[in-house]
Amino acid sequence: MKALGLTVYSGEKGLDRRVSGGYVSDLLSDVMGNADEGQVWVTLQTHKNVMAIASLKDLAAVILVSGHKPDVNTAHQSEEEAIPVLGTHLSAFDVTGKMYELIKK
Amino acid sequence: MNSYRADLHVHTVLSPCGDLEMSPANIVEAAARNNIDILGITDHNSTRHGALIKKLAKKKGIYVLCGAEVTTKEEIHCLTFFENNDKLVTFQKYLEEHLSDVKNKPEAFGYQVVLDENEMIVGHVDKLLVSALDQTIDEVEAAVHALGGLFIPAHIDRPSFSLFSQLGFVPAGLQADALELSKPATPEQMVKQFPGLKGYTFIRSSDAHHPMQLGSGITIFEMKRRSFAEIKKALQGVGGRRVSSKW
């Protein structure tokens, strides 16, 4: 997380979750169908349904890209579920590229 | 109670994807041909053809609900309707303030023209109307309801630009006056498959972009007379009023 320079918006309790990989998508229906447990989800969607899906799929964390911030009830649910919502000013392409390099090591 | 045939989702030539045949005069003709009693005018992120169509339709005895098909920040299409012209104008300002500042490229997306009743072009809209507002679905819903308007997420079961595609399912507590279905699935089947839909009123409309499509999706309103207040009550199922559709 430090290596990527991410901001922690909410769900700090869940920062020790194990990361198995990542998934990049802004269609929640797609994430619901195709993301796997333990993945970090990179998106620009900030709606509270993001957390419902992160919880359903047991994702490790959500990274909001391009400076997007979570809606109030999104942050609230992230606290409750202990699934962190993180943020970056980088685009999805850039943050995913960096993360891919880290995970490959 | 009386029974009225409604098509509440119709685009005009102002929508870049709207066929050039969708002039206000042609739309009113097509609505009359299809025995439409209540017509909803819903261009992408603009209300500018509503008032003229309302005026033209009045001569044919057709009641018009003026509004727009709004694209939220999540890229969910939502139908919105307003009771009178003052509220419509207020909402038009909201749309102009919040629509992203992307210029239309007519050769790629189509022309965005405003016509008068003689089908003369009286204006062009420069901003691309099919882009999105910087407002979340909750913010749009609140803005519509603050003006006493109707808020109806469009074609919620479609694989793109819908509540289901963008947000996966209907968010708990969404304050929608109705939900529009596009598939030939019945509301009963939909509720069985998606329990979150329980308790909502469903409508069906044409989403017409061409005069030939107008009336291809119909909702029947059973209510006392055609007025904004009666339509609202029918959607709420108040006092024996109701809406239904052939599924």
The pLDDT of residue B123: 93
- Tell whether the model's pLDDT for residue B206 goes beyond 70: yes
Q: Is the dihedral of CA A81, A83, A88, A94 positive or negative?
A: negative
Distance separating alpha carbons of residues B69 and B81, to the nearest angstrom: 9
ipTM exceeding 0.90?
Answer: no
Q: List the single residue in B136, B137, B168 with the smallest CB-CB distance to A29.
A: B168
Q: Please state the CATH superfamily assignment of the domain spanning residues A7-104 in this structure.
A: HprK N-terminal domain-like (3.40.1390.20)
Contact (CB<8Å) B171/A71: no
The pLDDT of residue B62: 98
Q: Which of A47, A68, A71, A77 to mutate to test the interface with B (most CBs of B within 10 A)?
A: A47
Q: Where are the domains of chain A?
A: 7-104
Nearest-CA distance from A105 to chain B in Å?
34
pLDDT digits (tens, 9 = 90+) for B44-91: 999 999 999 999 999 999 999 999 999 999 999 999 999 999 999 999
The pLDDT of residue A104: 79
Contact (CB<8Å) A45/B166: yes
Contact (CB<8Å) B168/A71: no
Among chain A residues, CA nearest to B156: A29
The pLDDT of residue B247: 62
Residue B108 belongs to domain with CATH number: 3.20.20.140
Nearest-CA distance from B194 to chain A in Å?
13
Distance separating alpha carbons of residues B43 and B148, to the nearest angstrom: 20
Q: Which residues of chain A have pLDDT under 70?
A: 1, 105
Q: Which domain holds residue B157?
A: 2-244
The amino acid at B120: M
Contact (CB<8Å) A71/B138: yes
DSSP type of residue B200: -
| Chain A residues closer than 8 Å to B135 by CB | none
Rounded mean pLDDT of B196-201?
93
Tokens of A36: 């796997």
Looking at the structure of chain B, the number of domains it has is: 1
| Chain A residues closer than 8 Å to B193 by CB | none
Distance separating alpha carbons of residues B221 and B6, to the nearest angstrom: 7
Pairs of CB atoms within 8 A across A/B: 35
Helix or strand holding residue A63 (H, E): strand A61-64
The pLDDT of residue B157: 92
Quick one: residue A101, left, alpha or beta (phi over 0 = left, psi -120 to 50 = alpha)? Answer: alpha
The pLDDT of residue B116: 93
pLDDT digits (tens, 9 = 90+) for B75-86: 999 999 999 999
How sure is the predictor about B173, in pLDDT bands with cuts at 50, 70 and 90?
confident
Contact (CB<8Å) B171/A32: no
The amino acid at B24: P
> Tokens 């061409």 — which residue?
B210
pTM of the model as a whole: 0.92
Question: What mean pLDDT, rounded, does chain B reach?
Answer: 95
